């Protein structure tokens, strides 16, 4: 982010905070004078980055390469791989569970994304001047995000219980006979998504709150002087200047959505009659790798997840030019 | 599957003294580290288990063991059952298995076939372990290709638990040891009907997490089988097996049992424990939980009802095993031998941890809750028990059972269709072994 300070008006360094300080031919002033500077620094920067890079390569990149290799093998019960070519992928393509898992994961992610507008409203309320107990509310909303997913799931299991749950008791008061939420196909996915939305709300609120605070008050003053109404200020100042934060939250939420597992596992359990219709991509991976012990096939699923997440994220970065405004 | 862990098995079926042949042969396998450490040996070993309820008894075992072997430090590694075998598999793969650990029937052949377990042949020859003190069915369960790999720890069978108060409220005669399926289903139906306003059901059992306390037993009672004796083909397409499955589908359809969904939201033991179910098919592993139930004074136990073909219950039991290639095999062997001893198993029984495998030590377990009539489990073991169905990769077709059978029990699909599909898929898995 240092580049932001250095050339506040140039788009170069700021254009994509997620890509960090990767030098890009930005075609603007900022980028041009940075390149010679870099070579001046000599090998020192490399040295500073080395410890982190070492960890990233060893614990992230290398395992990805390995998993890629394993996805072309058949894996014995206790190790020992045999090269089987693309067989795992062929099998995966014809596996009906894959389609179900992809759809479920997409539905889950879509529902959780609905939390972002909600978070925007809450964040705006929390940032209203004169609002009392903001710190308290912020902690309240953030707590589910830092709580252990398993603990959260245990509580929600009780709430969702078909016979003795609080939710169905409440519905019963108004004459509705609620289903067994976590063990009926269809309802189960909604139940999991709602809890996912609820847990991720706090994170979005904190990021968006920070984004709101970064909007300089002068802009509002200037807008007011120009005669802009409150609504106009929101639409023309707040919304555009908040888009970088919204973009960041969206990317993170989508990636997290695709990694749905612990919540689903803890909320439903593996001996659930609805699990097959509700499983996510990562659950499918877990099931094959650790329950059915077919790790080569599971590696193929992991590669597919990586490709999907990579493609979706890339698409989001491509699309950001159309709607994200960097000040 | 939860029960599997807790329980141990074995019994009756006696039959076949595979054990004996195991003791005779298998010399080559036994040579390595068969010896027991001297009493002044110094070592640190790990003992992996999955049942927290048994931890106090195990700590006591270790304390007693250290009287004789003061310098062998045993660390207990407790992992909940759901993750136990996932973790063990990873440890097996990286050759970092605990020195001594619990093993169950569905997994023993997988580990034995991959040479991860130390045969007990050497300990038997040196007299440190005496297989004749344990039920034959257990020795057999832990033998693979003629070699025994585990020392039996405990065993369990399944019986019919009932709640007297609910039977009396519904005006139904209490169950007896001579009940048949007809008596059982009629009582379950009547109770659910009469006590419907209290939300009480006639019977509960595990229907979507393994069949040990439900369809494995009813399939045997109907004269069917889950897997052929040589472990190569599925028995789910046998008409008698289908009849055994239908018992549960019918009970659910009649409303005598909660639905599969309800049993998933609220586990069977919770329904029975809290007095919301009049009958409960379950094993002796439930004693530890039910002795603390608020309704414990109303609970009783009788044999499982007689099916169209015969009386039956599956029997399963846990064993302690030692990892091959461990660093402290001799110390591990010493601990293994102690865990299999009469003294150690009596401690387990007295502390109500498990129904021990060592002949003659079970009395203490039966006496731990006199009002239940726990001896039913022992009688069932002697008179009507059949081996728990396993093969080399049991987990593969257990996953199929859990995936498909709930569709039959919920009435979503006809029992025959599901059973046929399961049989085909299971045969496919068995062919891969």
Residue-wise pLDDT for A27-60, tens only, equals: 444 444 444 555 577 888 888 999 999 999 999 9
Asked whether the beta carbons of residue A77 and residue B396 sit closer than 8 angstroms, the reply is no
Quote the pLDDT of residue A41.
Answer: 74
Inside any domain, residue B389: yes
Quote the pLDDT of residue B352.
Answer: 77
Q: Residue A263: pLDDT band by 50, 70, 90 thresholds?
A: very high
Q: Are residues B290 and B325 in the same domain?
A: no
Inside any domain, residue B373: no
Q: Are residues B142 and B248 in the same domain?
A: no
Quote the pLDDT of residue B96.
Answer: 93
A133 at interface of B, judged by CB pairs closer than 8 A: no
Quote the pLDDT of residue B64.
Answer: 96
Segment A194-215 mean pLDDT: 92
Asked whether the beta carbons of residue B264 and residue A78 sit closer than 8 angstroms, the reply is no
State how far the Cα of A26 lies from the Cα of A11, in Å rounded to an integer. Answer: 8
Q: Are residues B56 and B135 in the same domain?
A: yes
* Main-chain dihedrals φ then ψ at residue B204, nearest 5 degrees: -135, 150
Q: Is the pLDDT of residue A16 over 50?
A: no
B366 at interface of A, judged by CB pairs closer than 8 A: no
Quote the pLDDT of residue A5.
Answer: 39
Q: Are residues B260 and B208 in the same domain?
A: yes
Q: Are residues B111 and B178 in the same domain?
A: no
Q: Residue B30: pLDDT band by 50, 70, 90 thresholds?
A: very low
Q: Three-class SS of residue B163?
A: strand
In percent, the amount of chain B with pLDDT more than 90 equals 75
pTM of the model: 0.81
Q: Are B322 and B332 in contact (CB under 8 A)?
A: yes
Q: Is the pLDDT of residue B70 over 50?
A: yes
Residue from the list B110, B262, B403 with its beta carbon closest to the beta carbon of A180: B262
Residue-wise pLDDT for B387-410, tens only, equals: 899 998 898 899 899 889 999 999
Q: Are residues B390 and B291 in the same domain?
A: yes
Q: Are B392 and B21 in contact (CB under 8 A)?
A: no
Q: Which tokens is B375 given?
A: 């001896």
A169 at interface of B, judged by CB pairs closer than 8 A: no
CATH number of B62's domain: 3.40.190.10
Q: A318: how many CB neighbours lie within 10 A of its CB?
A: 9
Q: Is the pLDDT of residue B1 over 70?
A: no
| Number of folded domains that form chain B | 2
State how far the Cα of B168 lies from the Cα of B278, in Å rounded to an integer. Answer: 10
Quote the pLDDT of residue A10.
Answer: 38
Q: Are B280 and B161 in contact (CB under 8 A)?
A: yes
Q: Which tokens is B176 given?
A: 């007896």
Range of the domain at B413: 158-315+379-432
Residue-wise pLDDT for A61-84, tens only, equals: 999 999 999 999 998 878 788 999
Q: Which tokens is A258 given?
A: 């695709």
Q: Are residues B307 and B348 in the same domain?
A: no
Q: Which tokens is A106 given?
A: 């997409």
Residue-wise pLDDT for B14-28, tens only, equals: 333 333 333 333 333
Q: Are residues B146 and B175 in the same domain?
A: no
Q: Are residues B410 and B299 in the same domain?
A: yes
Residue-wise pLDDT for B290-333, tens only, equals: 989 999 999 999 999 999 999 999 999 999 999 998 889 999 99
Residue-wise pLDDT for A95-132, tens only, equals: 999 999 999 999 999 999 999 999 998 998 888 777 78
A7 at interface of B, judged by CB pairs closer than 8 A: no
Q: Is the pLDDT of residue A242 over 80?
A: yes
Instruction: Give contacts of B395 with chain A, Cβ < 8 Å.
Output: 291-293
Instruction: Give contacts of B92 with chain A, Cβ < 8 Å.
Output: 77-78
Q: Which tokens is A15 given?
A: 């254009």
Q: Is the pLDDT of residue A13 over 70?
A: no
Quote the pLDDT of residue A166.
Answer: 95
State how far the Cα of B401 lies from the Cα of B424, in Å rounded to an integer. Answer: 12
Calculate how close chain B gets to A170, using CA atoms only, in Å: 18
Picking from B330, B361, B392, the residue at the C-terminal end of a domain is B361
Q: Are residues B302 and B181 in the same domain?
A: yes
Q: Are residues B171 and B268 in the same domain?
A: yes
Instruction: Give contacts of A277 with chain B, Cβ < 8 Å.
Output: none
Segment B159-171 mean pLDDT: 97
Quote the pLDDT of residue B18.
Answer: 37
Segment B33-58 mean pLDDT: 88
Inside any domain, residue B340: yes
Segment B193-205 mean pLDDT: 96
Q: Is the pLDDT of residue B364 over 70?
A: yes
Mutate to test the interface with B, among A77, A95, A182, A191 (most CBs of B within 10 A): A77
State how far the Cα of A219 lies from the Cα of B365, in Å rounded to an integer. Answer: 79
State how far the Cα of B9 lies from the Cα of B314, in Å rounded to an integer. Answer: 8
Q: Is the pLDDT of residue B120 over 50?
A: yes
- How many beta-carbon contacts under 8 Å exist across A and B? 74
Kindly provide the b/e burial profile for residues B222-239, where b requires at least 16 CB atoms within 10 angstroms of the residue's own CB. bbbbbbeeeeebbbbbbe
Residue-wise pLDDT for B85-104, tens only, equals: 989 998 998 889 999 999 99
Residue from the list B114, B262, B403 with its beta carbon closest to the beta carbon of A276: B403
A68 at interface of B, judged by CB pairs closer than 8 A: no
Inside any domain, residue B20: no
State how far the Cα of B180 lies from the Cα of B218, in Å rounded to an integer. Answer: 12
Inside any domain, residue B22: no
Q: Is the pLDDT of residue A153 over 50?
A: yes
Asked whether the beta carbons of residue A77 and residue B89 sit closer than 8 angstroms, the reply is yes
Asked whether the beta carbons of residue A292 and residue B395 sit closer than 8 angstroms, the reply is yes
Picking from B331, B361, B391, the residue at the C-terminal end of a domain is B361
Instruction: Give contacts of B106 with chain A, Cβ < 8 Å.
Output: none
Quote the pLDDT of residue B34.
Answer: 67
Segment A292-296 mean pLDDT: 87
State how far the Cα of A306 lies from the Cα of A301, in Å rounded to an integer. Answer: 9
Instruction: Give contacts of A271 with chain B, Cβ < 8 Å.
Output: 1, 208-210, 264, 402
Quote the pLDDT of residue B257.
Answer: 97
**Average pLDDT of chain B, as a whole number:** 89
In percent, the amount of chain B with pLDDT more than 70 equals 92
In percent, the amount of chain A with pLDDT more than 70 equals 87
A272 at interface of B, judged by CB pairs closer than 8 A: yes
A161 at interface of B, judged by CB pairs closer than 8 A: yes
Quote the pLDDT of residue B403.
Answer: 87
Q: Are residues B142 and B81 in the same domain?
A: yes
Which residues numbered 188-217 in A keep a CB inside 8 Å of some CB on B? none
Asked whether the beta carbons of residue A183 and residue B403 sit closer than 8 angstroms, the reply is no
Q: Which residues contact A238 (CB under 8 A, 6 or more apart)?
A: A124, A212, A215
A96 at interface of B, judged by CB pairs closer than 8 A: no
A124 at interface of B, judged by CB pairs closer than 8 A: no
A102-323: CATH topology is MetI-like fold (1.10.3720)
Mutate to test the interface with B, among A66, A78, A162, A269 (most CBs of B within 10 A): A78
């Amino acid at each position: 982010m240092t580049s932001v300070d250095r050339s506040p008006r140039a788009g170069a360094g700021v254009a994509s905070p997620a890509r960090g300080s990767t030098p890009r031919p930005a075609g603007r002033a900022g980028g041009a004078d940075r390149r010679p500077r870099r070579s001046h620094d000599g090998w020192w920067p490399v040295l500073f980055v080395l410890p982190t890079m070492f960890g990233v390569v060893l614990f992230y990149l290398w395992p990805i390469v390995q998993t890629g290799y394993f996805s072309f093998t058949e894996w014995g019960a206790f190790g020992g791989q045999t090269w089987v070519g693309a067989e795992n992928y062929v099998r995966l393509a014809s596996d009906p569970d894959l389609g179900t898992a992809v759809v479920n994961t997409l539905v889950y992610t879509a529902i959780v994304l609905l939390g972002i507008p909600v978070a925007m409203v809450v964040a705006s309320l929390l940032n209203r001047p004169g609002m009392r107990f903001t710190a308290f509310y912020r902690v309240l909303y953030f707590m589910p995000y830092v709580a252990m997913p398993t603990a959260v799931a245990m509580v929600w299991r009780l709430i969702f219980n078909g016979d003795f749950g609080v939710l169905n008791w409440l519905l019963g008061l108004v004459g509705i006979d609620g289903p067994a939420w976590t063990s009926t196909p269809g309802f189960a996915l909604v139940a999991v998504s709602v809890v996912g939305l609820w847990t991720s709300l706090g994170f979005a609120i904190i990021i968006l709150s920070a984004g709101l605070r970064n909007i300089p008050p002068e802009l509002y003053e200037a807008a007011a002087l120009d005669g802009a109404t409150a609504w106009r200020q929101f639409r023309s100042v707040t919304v555009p200047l908040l888009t970088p934060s919204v973009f960041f939250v969206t990317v993170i939420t989508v990636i997290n959505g695709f990694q749905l597992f612990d919540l689903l596992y803890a909320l439903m359990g593996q001996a659930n009659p609805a699990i097959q219709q509700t499983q996510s991509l990562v659950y499918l991976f877990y099931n094959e790798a650790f329950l059915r012990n077919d790790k080569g096939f599971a590696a193929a699923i992991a590669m597919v997840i990586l490709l999907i997440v990579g493609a979706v994220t890339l698409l989001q970065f491509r699309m950001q030019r159309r709607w994200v405004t960097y000040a | 599957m939860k029960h599997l862990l807790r329980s141990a098995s074995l019994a009756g079926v006696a039959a076949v003294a595979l054990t004996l042949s195991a003791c005779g042969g298998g010399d080559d396998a036994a040579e390595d580290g068969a010896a027991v450490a001297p009493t002044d040996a110094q070592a640190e070993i790990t003992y992996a288990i999955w049942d927290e309820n048994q931890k106090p008894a195990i700590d006591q075992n270790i304390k007693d063991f250290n009287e004789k072997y003061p310098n062998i430090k045993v660390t207990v590694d407790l992992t909940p059952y759901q993750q136990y075998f996932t973790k063990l598999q990873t440890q097996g793969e990286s050759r970092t298995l605990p020195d001594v650990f619990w093993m169950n029937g569905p997994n023993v052949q997988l580990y034995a076939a991959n040479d991860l377990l130390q045969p007990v042949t050497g300990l038997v020859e040196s007299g440190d372990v005496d297989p004749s003190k344990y039920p034959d069915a257990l020795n057999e369960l832990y033998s693979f290709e003629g070699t025994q790999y585990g020392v039996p720890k405990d065993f369990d069978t399944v019986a019919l638990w009932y709640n007297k108060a609910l039977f009396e409220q519904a005006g139904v005669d209490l169950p007896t040891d001579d009940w048949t399926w007809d008596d059982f289903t009629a009582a379950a139906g009547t109770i659910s009907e009469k006590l419907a306003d209290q939300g009480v059901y006639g019977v509960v059992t595990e229907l979507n997490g393994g069949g040990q306390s439900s369809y494995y037993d009813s399939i045997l009672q109907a004269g069917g089988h889950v897997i052929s004796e040589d472990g190569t083909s599925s028995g789910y397409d046998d008409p008698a097996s289908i009849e055994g499955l239908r018992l549960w589908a019918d009970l659910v359809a009649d409303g005598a049992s909660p639905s599969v969904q309800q049993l998933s939201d609220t586990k069977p033991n919770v329904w029975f424990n809290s007095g919301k179910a009049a009958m409960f098919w379950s094993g002796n592993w439930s004693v530890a939980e039910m002795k603390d139930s608020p309704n414990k004074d109303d609970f009783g136990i009788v044999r499982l009802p007689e099916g169209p073909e015969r009386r039956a219950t599956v029997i399963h039991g846990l064993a302690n095993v030692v990892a091959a290639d461990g660093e402290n095999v001799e110390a591990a062997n010493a601990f293994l031998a102690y865990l299999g001893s009469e003294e150690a198993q009596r401690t387990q029984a007295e502390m109500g941890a498990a129904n021990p495998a060592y002949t003659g030590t079970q009395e203490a377990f039966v006496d731990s809750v006199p009002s239940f009539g726990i001896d039913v489990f022992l009688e069932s073991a002697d008179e009507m028990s059949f081996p728990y169905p396993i093969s080399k990769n049991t987990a593969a077709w257990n996953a199929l059972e859990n995936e498909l059978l709930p569709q039959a029990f919920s009435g979503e699909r006809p029992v025959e269709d599901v059973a046929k599909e399961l049989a085909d898929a299971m045969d496919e898995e068995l062919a891969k072994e």
